[in-house]
Every structure is written in C-alpha cells, then in structure tokens.
Chain A
Amino acid sequence: MRAFVTRRKRPLGVLTVLAVAVSALVAISVSGAQAKSNAGELKGAGSSFVAPLVAAWQQKYQAARSVKISYNPIGSGGGISAITNKTVDFAGSDAPMTPDQFNACGGCVQLPWALSATSVMYNLNGVKNNLHLTGPVIADIYLGKVTNWNDSRIRRINPGVSLPDKEITPVYRSDSSGTSYNFTSYLNTVSKQWKSQIGSGTTVNWPKGAGARGSSGVAGLVSRTEGAIGYVDVAYALKNHLKFAAVQNRSKQWARPGLVGIKAASLADRKFSPTNALSIVNPPPGKKFRKAYPICTYTYVILRTQSNQAALLKPFINWALTAGQADGPQLIFQPIPKIVVTRGQATLKRVHS
C-alpha cells in the first residue's frame, strides 16, 4: 500500500513540472511579444542576392541611427511568404511580385532598392575565366540541345580556347528564386523555343540538368561537377572565386557582370509597371547599351502600406535608397539611377502606421 501511495503522487509531480514549464513558456512568449513591439528594431527576410548589401547597411544604420536591422536571407520566395504572413517588417525579392502574390499579401507595395547582375558560372578544368557565351547558346545548353563543351557553336565564339570533350551538365535552383526569374527572363528574350516551351518564373520546369537549393547549393554542385554550368548572383560568384562567362549583348560586345556592365544596363527600362517593376534584361543594341551586361536585375523591397513600424521603416528605406547606395559598388551593386530613387520615395509615402 505504501508503494501505491508513492506511485499515486507521481502524476502530480509530473503535473507540477508541466505547469512550471507551461508558465515559463507563457512568460517567454509574453516577453517575446514585448520585444516585438519594442521600438528600435526592424525585421526583414528574403532574397539572398541582396543579403550582403543589407548586411553592410545593418552596421552603418545601427551606428548612425541606433535602429537595429535584422535580415534573414531565406530566399525571395521565403521573403514574400514572410511579409504575407506579417512576420517581418520588410521583405527582399529579386523577382517582382506576381498579381496572385499581391492578392495574397493584401495591401503590399514593392519598390526597387538595389541593382546587380546574375553571372553564368562554369566548371571546366584548364579553361580560363570569362569564356565567351551567347544568349542562344546558353538557352540551348539549358534546353539540352547543346550537350558537349566542344560543340562547334561554343568553339566558334571562343577562338584559341581548347575546349574539352565533356558533357555539359546544367545546374539550376530547385527552390523558388529571384535569380532564376532573372535568368529565365533573359533566356525568354533570346530563344523562341525557351519562351514557348519553358517561359520565365521563380520556378520553371527545367528540361535538363540537376537542381540545387539556394545560391550556395548551385555554386557547390557546379564546383563539384566537372563540366557543369550554373547561375548565381555576381557578388556570390566573385566572393567564392568562381569562373563566370562573358555574355554577348545585343551590340555584339562580350560583356562581363561588373559595375560597368550593370551601369550600362540600368536604364534599359524607364517605364515602371503599375507595381514598380522594371525589366532590364537584354537591352537593345545601340551606343547607350554598348557595354551593357545582358542579365541584370533590379531587386525589390516589399512593404505593407499599413505598418506599425512605419515610423522606423520609412526613414530606413529612404536611407537605403539614397545614402545606403554608396555601400553597393564594393559588393558589385551599382547605385540605382535617380528616376528609380524618386519613384521609390514616392511609393514610400503610401506607407503609414
């Protein structure tokens, strides 16, 4: 009987522990909620493309205005989900939001806040950096029509380069990605077959090759696979010493994804869509765009028009559009042109608390 009595007490003991645990959890969540409403912190998430630039801004802005900025580079798609679910104050996306995404978000605006390029990287032993590639050749590689590095179409545009007899393995992003959007939008403009069969988007039905998650996944798979070709944002390619191609633009020039090439492409589209989207891939031929790199993109920040953090958010975004641009060039982000700044500031006025 004694044994029974002690046994009887045990559930109560467990319950006490449970009760303590639950109250502790409640306490933590309450303090968490307080931290959330605490002034002086802005939360963001999204594009990994723009993450290095936001990281530079974080330090400067906190030092200057003592506002803490946190940014979680979970990918453009993740950022759009986060702002839609109201778990962040701002989101970064390299692809402009689709009408369906605007509907789901309910009262969101987007504005371009940074400008850079997507590089086409490759892994070929003994082949130099800046191999020449044209848009149609890249499209046919990803369509599975050009399958070997010593294909005559690649040899013809690379005189003097000895190209190995090696199968080409295209590598792409398997997750929803703004870089994919930029890349496929470009392929849309250079290949009729691509446009009719595959199209552009943050995810498409890739006909050939292997998918990997995130920029790091693509870069990793390409660097471990001899004969692979892939695409990542240029800052990532440079930081990781990857070889990338010089791509022919419509002025028949071989352009590299550097600041000069990006700057030249930046004004290829001056007509904002009603949702502030700009498309600057594959600028037309002509003196103005002679040096333009053809796979450039604006990247966007997405805000809710009604935000409790508006008082903190608006000055930060305005700073990012203006003073913050100075941090760009060292990370291969070209400062955005004046018309884009003006448009952004006008849109920012719609954000209120």
Chain B
Amino acid sequence: MSVAQERATGPAALQRRGRFRPGDAILYVVACAAALTGVVLLALITREVLTEAWPAMQKFGLGFLTTQAWGDHHNTLFGAKSFIYGTVVTSFGALLIATPISLAIALFLSELAPRWIRRVVAPLIELLAAIPSVVLGLWGILVLGPFVTGTLGPGLHGTLGWLPIFSTEPTVGSNMFAAILILTVMIIPIVSSICRELFASVPQELKDGALALGATRWEVVRGVVFPYARAGIAAALILGLGRAVGEAIAVTQVIGSRVAINSSLFEQGDTLASRIAGQYQGADTALQIASLVYLAVILLVFSLIANLAAQLIVRRVAGRHQIR
C-alpha cells in the first residue's frame, strides 16, 4: 500500500480499492460530526452569552470596563473594573510563582533525577492536577488561609512591607494572596508536566554534543534544552494562564469577594469567574444577571486573546527555531 493511499482522507478514502467499507464510512461521519459539533457549540455559546448580556451592554457600554461598582445606587450600577484587576493580578501572580517552580520540576524529572525517583514523583505531580478545585479551595480555607494570616503574611509584611504589594498585614485568611497561591498549586502540574515532556523530547545527540564540548549541566540546560523547547514552554505557560483566568470555585472560596482595587495582595478582591460563580444563582434583578453575563463576555474575550497569543508565539518561536 503506497504512502499516498495510506494518507488519503475524506470521502476519497472511502473509495479505496474500489470497495465500500461501512466501518470507515461510519468513522468518517462520526468524526466529522464531532468536529462540527465543536464549532457549532462555540458559535451557539457565544450567541447565547451575547444575547443574555445585551441589556447590560446596552445600558453601560464600554464604560462597564472602567467602572468600579457592583449593585451600587440601589442595584442600578454595575462595572467590571475591579474584577478585571483581580483576574489579571491573581492569574499573572500565580504564573510568576509557578513558572520557575514548574521549570525546576520539569528539569529535575527529565534531566537530573535518577530513574526510580522520576517514576515515583512524576505521576504524583500529575495527580495534583486531578484534585477537584472545590477540594483545593477547601484546603485553601482550612490550611492556606490561616498559614497566610499567621505566618507568611506577618513575615512578608515585616521584611518586604515597603513593597506596595505587601504594604498591609492580612487580618483574615481570605485574600488575593491566598487566591494566588491556590492558583499556583493548580497550574504547576499543568506547566511542569508539559515542560517535562518537552525537555525529554530534546534530542540526546544535541545534549551529548554540548557535554562533549565541555559544557556543564546548567550550560546544557541553558544552551540546548531551553532554546529547543522555547515555543513549547511559552505555550505551556499560556495554557497555565488560561487555567488561572478561568478558575472560579477555588478562587471564590479564598479571595474574600469584595469589589475593591488594592495594591496590597493581603486585601480582598474578586475575579471575573469567581463573581459569576458566586452570584449568578438567585441574582436579584434582570440587570444584575445581564451584568454577570457581561463579565462572562469579558472572560470569553480574555481567553480568546490568550489562545490567539499562544498560537502566535508558538508559530513565531518555532519559525525562528527552524531558521537557526
């Protein structure tokens, strides 16, 4: 069987060797329908979200994005500013902490650790990703919150209090810093497991070559492994960011849900996803529901931009890599 025949796709594949194969036909129809369902679903969801949000979009326009309010003036004024701020701060904060840790984990498991450690630790870290977010949120309430108020907060405020982000001492376990830590725990397994696969796929000859030239382990990592996996790392980070931006339940459990913009991470705030999860059920007025869905529109646009950025970065970095 020639390669061309093997690769033939679409209805043409069904005509292969001039015999109708019911199995192939069914496979084609099922797979095609599944692919179409995805596209149609996306379109339907977008349309539904826009329709539901329309009353709020009409009333507040783009000013919604720059208004800090929620149910002010007797439930007539809503705005997304503080939630956009909270979403950006918590998700980028989490990414900032998670990136070095994830890269270190991935390096350790792919390059440095003995095989038996690798076999035990790698699945355990991936298991971290399997913890339901509501359980992680409970852990945040019971363990992380008290730790932040009791130990971490006073320590950071005492030593780094001159930084605006640690300028106040936490009085209560629910705050933006707790949310950042929870999100960090959530994205580490995603980023580290993808990076581990990437690092493992770096051709052994390249690493051996560098070692033969007298490079140290660190120089191999910096000069060969990282550049080779750069596009993949960028994509993994954006995947992690997407997870952090969209997480609702665990965040709503630990962030303290307040409409506020504070530079200090030990104050309360709220994110787009957390606000939607917290208040959609039983919203008092139709305008409040529409405003909540308007938040969902913003979230949708956020994710869309993140995804497009990921694709762009991967394409650019991959392209440059090939030229080199």
Contact B30 A15 (CB under 8 A): yes
Of A77, A103, A175, A204, which one neighbours B71 at CB under 8 angstroms? A204
Contact A175 B286 (CB under 8 A): no
* Count of A-B residue pairs with CB < 8 Å: 125
Q: Is B305 an interface residue (CB 8 A)?
A: no
Contact B75 A210 (CB under 8 A): no
Contact A176 B172 (CB under 8 A): no
Say how far A221's CB is from chain B's closest CB, in angstroms: 6
Complex CA gap A78/B279 in Å reads: 9
Q: Is A37 an interface residue (CB 8 A)?
A: no
Complex CA gap A203/B145 in Å reads: 24
Contact A211 B284 (CB under 8 A): no
Complex CA gap A224/B149 in Å reads: 10
Stretch at the interface among B43-51, B87-95, B207-215, B251-259: B251-259
Q: Is A74 an interface residue (CB 8 A)?
A: yes
Say how far A201's CB is from chain B's closest CB, in angstroms: 5
Interface size on B, residues (CB 8 A): 41
Of A8, A79, A167, A169, which one neighbours B282 at CB under 8 angstroms? A79
Contact B278 A220 (CB under 8 A): no
Say how far B70's CB is from chain A's closest CB, in angstroms: 5
Complex CA gap A76/B282 in Å reads: 7
Contact B172 A169 (CB under 8 A): yes
* Chain A interface, DSSP helix/strand/loop, else mixed: mixed
Known: A210-B257, A211-B256. A225 touches B284 (CB 8 A): no
Contact A227 B258 (CB under 8 A): no
Q: Is B320 an interface residue (CB 8 A)?
A: no
Would you list the 10 A-B pairs with minimal beta carbon distance, nearest first? A77-B282, A211-B257, A174-B257, A210-B256, A176-B282, A210-B174, A78-B281, A100-B286, A77-B281, A100-B285
Query: What is the interface of chain A, defined by CB distance below 8 A to chain B?
Result: 4, 8-9, 11-12, 15, 74-81, 93, 98, 100-101, 103-104, 167, 169, 171, 174-176, 199, 201-206, 208-213, 217, 220-221, 224-225, 227-228
Besides A15-B26, A98-B285, 20 other CB < 8 A contacts? Answer: A11-B24, A15-B30, A76-B282, A77-B281, A78-B282, A100-B285, A100-B287, A176-B279, A176-B283, A201-B71, A201-B284, A205-B70, A205-B259, A206-B259, A210-B172, A211-B258, A212-B174, A213-B278, A217-B253, A224-B146
24 A-B pairs in the complex with CB atoms less than 8 angstroms apart: A8-B21, A75-B282, A77-B279, A79-B282, A81-B281, A100-B286, A171-B172, A174-B256, A176-B283, A202-B282, A203-B71, A204-B71, A205-B71, A205-B259, A206-B258, A210-B172, A210-B256, A210-B268, A212-B253, A213-B252, A221-B141, A221-B173, A224-B142, A225-B149
